[in-house]
Amino acid sequence: MKKSLLFEKIDPISRLVEMLILSLAISLGFIVENFREGYSEQIKSEKLISSLLQDLKGDLLRFNEFTQLRKSLIKDVYHFIHHVKKNGLNKNILISKPFLQKPFLVGLISSRIQQILNK
């Protein structure tokens, strides 16, 4: 039988080469892992930026629609106030005039309209 490896003669150069190869392998493993992690974070950030850009475009469109609607409603209110100042307040005004067909004006009562006119 052969003797145990512990009692064999140790070759320092081969042990040094083994340690060098082991250190190199571990270092390369860390380098590759860091590169992979950085790459995956870059992909995630690009997806996030793309999603954010789409959300902002949609929000901008909705904001423009809201602004146009608001301008239209403000114009209708001023037209209504001008009409009431010119012709007086009539109970049938809410039904008869086309500029009063907006949902927010149909439900107003005379006292609310009078409060608006007094301001």
Query: Residue 106: pLDDT band by 50, 70, 90 thresholds?
Result: very low
Calculate the average pLDDT of the chain: 79
Residue 16 has pLDDT above 60, yes or no: yes
- Contact yes or no for 117/81 (Cβ under 8 A): yes
Whole-number pLDDT of residue 50: 94
Of residues 104, 110, 97, 117, the one with CA closest to residue 73? 104
Q: What is the DSSP letter of 2?
A: P
Give the DSSP H or E segment for 107. Answer: none
Tens-place pLDDT, residues 38-91: 999 999 999 999 999 999 999 999 999 999 988 888 888 888 788 778 877 665
Q: Which residues contact 93 (CB under 8 A, 6 or more apart)?
A: 83, 84, 87, 100
Whole-number pLDDT of residue 109: 47
Q: pTM higher than 0.95 for the full model?
A: no
